[in-house]
Structure 1
Amino acid sequence: MIHTDTNASVSGKVPMLKNEDWWAVWLGLFIFALGLGPIFGVDLIGWVVKSGTWNDFSKAMAPISKAYKGMSGYTSMFLTYLFLLVITTIGAKAMGASIKRFAIGFTAIYAITFTCIVLGNNAYIAATPDKQESLGISWSLGLGEMGFILAMIVGLIIGNFMPSVAKYLEEAAKPEWFIKTGIVILGAAIGIKTLGAMGLASTVIIRGLCAVVEAYLIYWPVVYFISRKYFKFTPEWAAPLASGISICGVSAAIATGGAIRSRPIVPVILSAVIIVFVAIEMLILPWLAQTFLYQEPMVAGAWMGLAVKSDGGAVASGAITDSLIRAKALKETGIQYEEGWMLMAATTTKVFIDVFIGVWAFILAIIWSMFNLNKKGGGATSEKSNVSAREIWDRFPKFVIGFVLTFLVLFLWGLADPQIVDGAKLGSDEANGFRTILFGLCFFSIGLITNVRKLWEAGMGRIVAVYTICLFAFILWVGLFISWLFYHGIMPPIVGG
């Protein structure tokens, strides 16, 4: 098993080449660099496999780029595996792993994880309501990220009931490494989304900036206070929980966990709860918006961006809301709004929240260093620590550097030369194909190394209680109120108007 003690690595006891955080940066930047190919007319990673929502298994996987449409899904899946095996094995070897055990373990983990992702994308499980008709189904669970949960469940089964198998696979079970590499890649996608937002109406941009204030300076401290004061969570649990509920679900919880040096189990267990709540919100909120906000469509769209705590869930909810409200407005008032404006409001709001994940992680890293909030026993101390700038740097989550770098490169480049945006979007989508698989590998790995008894003792019931109280007691309604303040009376363009 690879021994990469996070605390040791940041204190300088482990060289840079053995530091998991730095390897996440390097691998993420390498994939990002390959994703720049379409800008120069070369599609280098369009063969990466994509598993879309399916009801015909022959269409369950395919290359992500149309340039490789002649390639079979199985070939694409194998090439993706081979690529990830090579680059992760290089890093694992540098960090002290046995190449043979890592390669065998990674192969098994990849096969199981990708199978779970494909199964989780079955139409009856994953399809959002606005896609059911095109898929030929009348119902679905709408659990678009269920593949991650399936991967974690399978990992839990192996880890708790097949200890000998789990022990062998542990050599390649590196949840933090996988997820941090994925977050580095995520920066590019957010950079491209932000470029799209820059061309929108100034009101929408201002609304997106205000969403940042709401999520980070209003929601976050309230959720953190409730978690600590009334549910007695330690800072290690309360901070990722506050980020997951307040900001951007899975990515924010994991970035926060890395920033404060929590155990890897913490943010991923929270992420599983977040995914379930996102599904519940997607089932309820668009229909509430259709019933009560069809005369204020832009308010409804922005509300989806603030209320639904995952990128995919927020965008899907925005699309559903867009469709439902346009249909009702046409029926009730005879007005036909142009398609996509409510979705744009939801997406823009979410993008501006996402952009500041790295900044928030940096702020939390400094605060946790100064006040020693993760001291032994999980409690906080009221006394400041004498923390040097060097120690803050050592504790800073290096993968955030990669996240910010990939974001800035595409954002600034796109501002300077708008002609590269289409190619950059294609390349970032292709790189995101790797991110999806890396996230799945993380969830399986967490399940594999998790002791269920200890997990239950950690207070899963309290996590659900905090989420329920915070979401339904104030996050939904504060978000709705501020959405109303900024979008009340603003209407989408009318078809033919």
Structure 2
Amino acid sequence: MEGRNGISEDWLSLWMGLFIFVLGLGLFVGVDILGWGIKTNVWLDITKALNPISGDLKAMPGITSLFLTYIFLLVITEIGAIAMGANVGRFMIGFTLVFWIGYACWLTGHYAYIAATDAGKMGIGWSLRLTGEAGFIVALMVGLIVGNFFPRFAGVLQEATRPELYIKTAIVIMGAGLGVKAAGAAGLASAVMFRGLCAIIEAYLIYWAVVYFIARKYFKFSREWAAPLASGISICGVSAAIATGGAIRARPVVPIMVSSLVVIFAVVELLILPFLAQTFLWTEPMVAGAWMGLAVKTDGAAVASGAIVDSLIRAKALVAQGISYKEGWMLMTATTVKIFIDIFIGVWAFILAVIWCAKIECTGGRVRAMEIWERFPKFVLGYALTFFFMLFICLAFPGVMKTAKAATAQMDVFRVLFFVLTFFTIGVVSNFKKLWEEGIGKLAAVYVLCLFGFIIWIGLLISWIFFHGVKPPLAG
């Protein structure tokens, strides 16, 4: 989307994300710039739900931290609105409402009976075990209600209803955290790293091509729809769909619709797959971990699935065979596979930008490098920059790993909030009547067919091929 002054949301998200990234680097020189950012905890007592992300500021009231976070995001997004030529007053009102409604959804999603993965530790008898990322689902649902049943209120929010701006900014910030995780994983078992990399390449080459083929041949979707759908199902859901949409210049409604489906189905997978793994794969724990990383399509849901599988299978192995596995290895396998998949987003966006420019929409003659540059989603450059910068720093200077983790944890506060704003505003712009006319029913049919028809099972097969017989170390 171009602003009236010419700056695009694509470029703006790059600069906003890099600005937060640079502030987060203050910890490397002993300056805690973002430590006041709000951290949201799983809660039974709401007074204990909020606190600043920095332990050095634990005396600061949580509500103060939340208000400072709101002011900070309002200022940087308002500057962005000015740069895009948006209506400043309407944007301020709209963003304020979007932020507070979105955060209320995020806080609701952290309620213990919804989010706790270990109900016993919270002192409750049961939980849906959806993790705090259930807040994304709540935000999406509330946004859908606003967009479909309160059109006048949706109009008030319109100037600040910019899901692509929010998600692209979040992706730039996300690169830093993944860089640190990748550096940390470099010191783990080389077999897990190598097998994980091979597994995602193998899976992705199959996944993407098959989903794209089915969407085109049997459901008659255009390339504009088929490519983001294939990426959304194949790689990492929302981030991949947005990046692909930018690379092929799809209309904004396309990745938005795909993103809505990704979030909903990720929750379904989170509720089902860990228990299937416990029942049928408890003798192959690393296969189960890799399967979660390959099959579950959002970062949070995949890692949460890995954590649940780790707990369930260790408990069953101890009861059934008297084997006590070390905690965390199945989770590490799921996370490692997911990291490789995330890294692939930028690579695939570039490949698609070149293919679409050279083969799909070419007008004859040589393909100009400038055309590829114009088509390439700029926020992916920010993602790559933050990723490789943190990866290099952590590998070159291993002693800074602790500081790097703390810095990216602070950055991640804002990445998460931008995701929350994304899901709420996706809901606001998702008018069911219009989406049905656009073909969301048929889109969901492709998603269900591909995800439950073969993606989950191919992921299981590949996990078995690469991790069969690999066992976690024994506790003690």
Please say whether Structure 1 and Structure 2 have the same fold, judged by a TM-score greater than 0.5: yes
Residue from 379, 388, 394 that aligns with 1:399: 379
Aligned residue identity for 1:242: A
Task: Note the alpha carbon deviations across 1:384-424, whole angstroms, 9 max, x for none.
Answer: 67531111111111000100000010001111101111111
Amino acid paired to 2:89: K
- CA distance in 2 between counterparts of 1:102 and 1:109 reads 10
AA aligned to 2:78 is T
Task: Give SS of 2:290's match.
Answer: helix
Q: Distance in 2 between matches of 1:473 and 1:162?
A: 37
Task: Report if the CA contact (8 A) 1:212-1:356 is conserved.
Answer: no
What is residue 312 of structure 1 aligned with on the other side? Answer: 300
CA separation of 1:461 and 1:75: change in aligned 2, threshold 3 A = same
Query: Does 2:204 correspond to 1:234?
Result: no
Specify the alignment match of 1:445 in structure 2.
425
CA–CA separation in structure 2 for the residues paired with 1:253 and 1:155: 19
How many angstroms does 1:19 deviate by? 2.4
Does residue 77 of structure 1 match 2:57?
no
Give the 5 Å matches for 1:366-377.
Answer: 366-372=354-360
Q: Would you say the 8 A contact 1:268–1:443 is kept in 2?
A: no
Q: 1:179 to 1:336 in 2, by over 3 A?
A: same
Q: Larger deviation: 170-179 or 385-394?
A: 385-394
Measured at CA, do residues 99 and 121 of structure 1 come closer, stay the same or move farther in structure 2, by a change above 3 Å? Answer: same
Aligned twin of 2:334:
346
**Does structure 2 conserve the Cα–Cα contact (< 8 Å) formed by 1:371 and 1:385?**
no
Between the aligned partners of 1:385 and 1:297, the Cα distance in structure 2 is: 54
Amino acid at match of 1:140: S
- The two structures have a TM-score, normalised by structure 2, of 0.94
**Cα pair distance change 1:158/1:305, threshold 3 Å:** closer
Aligned-partner Cα distance in 2 for 1:330–1:155: 44
| Amino acid paired to 2:115 | A
- Counterpart residue number, 1:357: 345
| Deviates most, 63-72 or 81-90 | 63-72
Most deviating of 141-150 and 286-295: 141-150
1:268–1:140: structure 2 CA closer, same or farther, 3 Å change rule? farther
Structure 2 match to 1:281? 269
Query: Alpha-carbon deviation of 1:100?
Result: 2.1
Q: Which of the numbers 2, 5, 15 marks the counterpart of 1:5?
A: 2
Paired position in structure 1 for 2:172 = 184
Give 3-state SS (helix, strand or coil) of 2:264's partner. helix
Q: Which runs of 5+ in 1 are unaligned?
A: 374-380
Q: Which range moves more in the overlay, 37-46 or 425-434?
A: 37-46
Q: How does 1:151-300 map to 2 (within 5 A)?
A: 151-300=139-288
Instruction: Return the offset for 1:438.
Output: 1.0
Q: Equivalent residue of 1:357, what SS? A: helix
AA aligned opposite 1:34 = L
Kindly indicate whether residue 125 of structure 2 is the aligned counterpart of residue 138 of structure 1. yes
Taking the aligned partners of 1:340 and 1:63, their CA distance within structure 2 comes to 27
- What is the CA-CA distance between 1:433 and the residue it aligns to? 0.8
- Distance in 2 of aligned mates of 1:409 and 1:324: 37
Give RMSD over aligned pairs.
2.0
Is the 8 Å Cα contact of residues 372 and 385 (structure 1) preserved in structure 2? no
Aligned positions of 1:442-481 closer than 5 A? 442-481=422-461
C-alpha displacement at 1:476, in angstroms?
Answer: 1.9
Change beyond 3 A, Cα 1:276–1:66: same
**52, 55, 60: which one aligns with 2:41:** 52
Which residue of 392, 398, 404 corresponds with 1:418? Answer: 398
Conserved in 2, the CA contact under 8 Å of 1:224 and 1:241?
A: yes
* C-alpha displacement of 1:226: 0.9
Cα deviation, residue 452, structure 1 = 2.3
Output the CA distance in 2 between the equivalents of 1:94 and 1:326. Answer: 53
Give the match for residue 318 of structure 2: 330
- Is residue 111 of structure 1 aligned with residue 91 of structure 2? no
Q: Secondary structure at the match of 2:34?
A: coil
CA distance in 2, matches of 1:46, 1:124: 29
AA matched with 2:19: F
- Conserved 8 A contact 2:200-2:294: no
Structure 2 counterpart of 1:378: none
Q: Tell me the matched-pair count.
A: 475
Q: Does the CA-based 8 Å contact 1:264-1:446 persist in structure 2?
A: no
Are positions 1:124 and 2:113 aligned together?
yes
Match of 1:489 among 456, 469, 476: 469
Q: Distance in 2 between matches of 1:454 and 1:170?
A: 17
8 A Cα contact 2:137 2:264, kept in partner: no
8 Å CA contact 1:211, 1:352 repeated in 2: no
Identity %: 60
TM-score normalised by structure 1 residue count? 0.91
Deviation at residue 77 of structure 1 after TM alignment: 1.0
- In 2, Cα distance between equivalents of 1:42 and 1:275: 36
Name stretches of at least 5 consecutive residues in structure 2 with no aligned partner.
none
CA contact (8 A) 1:265 1:446 kept: no
Q: What letter corresponds to residue 135 of structure 1 in structure 2?
A: M
Contact preservation (8 Å) 2:130, 2:270: no
Report how far residue 445 of structure 1 moved.
2.3
CA distance in 1 between partners of 2:148 and 2:266 (Å): 28
Q: Do the aligned residues in 2 keep the contact of 1:278 with 1:308 (CA within 8 Å)?
A: yes
Letter in 2 for 1:100: G
Pair 1:52–1:234, CA change in 2 (3 A) = farther
Which amino acid in structure 1 is aligned with residue 81 of structure 2? A
Q: Is the Cα contact below 8 Å between 2:353 and 2:375 reproduced in 1?
A: yes
**Partner of 2:289 in structure 1?**
301
CA distance in 2, matches of 1:401, 1:385: 28
Letter paired with 1:19:
S
Q: Could you list the runs of 4 or more consecutive aligned residues of structure 1 that deviate by over 4 angstroms after TM superposition? A: 383-386
SS at match of 1:36: helix
